[in-house]
């Protein structure tokens, strides 16, 4: 079976189309978790960490809906003619997307899959929302 490439990214760091829409990485499935999972960056003790840290992964995994999404993505990746690339995006790419990507990689490796992980924006500073005027 072919290796699967998992990509985490932040929508706020992506290039945009002339119309202003973000252009996510090319993948067989792009999962946008901005609305699906609560932003764990609100937990002050993990603000300066990223999704590669087990503490962030624990917060992400215990967010409502995360376990179901993780199971769904793992089942999708395990299909016989399954995907080669799955991209997971959140606002900045530091917490939800990278944490879920790491958890998915771990789950797939436990299922015997060869997995490559790429975090596009995990190294960038946290994105702070601009105050409205």
Q: Are the CB atoms for 51 and 97 separated by under 8 Å?
A: yes
Q: Where residue 131 falls among pLDDT bands split at 50, 70, 90?
A: very low
What is the average pLDDT across 112-120?
A: 96
Q: What is the pTM for the complete model shown?
A: 0.91
Q: How many helices (H) and strands (E) does the chain have?
A: 3, 4
Average pLDDT over the chain, rounded to an integer:
91
Q: What is the pLDDT of residues 39-96, one digit of tens each?
A: 776 677 888 899 999 999 999 999 999 999 999 999 999 998 889 999 999 999 999 9
Q: According to the model, what pLDDT value does residue 82 have?
A: 84
Measured between alpha carbons, how far is 91 from 97 in angstroms, rounded to an integer? 8
Tokens in use for 115?
């997995």
Q: Give tens-digit pLDDT for 84-98.
A: 999 999 999 999 999
pLDDT at residue 41 in the model: 64
């Amino acid at each position: 079976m072919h290796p699967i490439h998992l990509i985490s990214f932040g929508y706020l760091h992506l290039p945009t189309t002339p119309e202003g829409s973000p252009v996510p990485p090319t993948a067989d499935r792009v999962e946008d978790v901005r609305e699906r999972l609560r932003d764990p960056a609100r937990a002050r003790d993990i603000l300066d960490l990223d999704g590669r840290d087990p503490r962030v992964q624990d917060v992400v995994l215990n967010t409502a809906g995360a376990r179901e999404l993780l199971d769904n993505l793992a089942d999708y990746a395990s299909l016989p003619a399954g995907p080669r690339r799955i991209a997971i995006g959140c606002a900045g790419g530091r917490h939800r997307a990278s944490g879920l990507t790491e958890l998915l990689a771990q789950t797939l490796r436990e299922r015997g899959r060869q997995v490559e992980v790429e975090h596009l924006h995990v190294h960038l500073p946290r994105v702070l929302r601009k105050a409205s005027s």
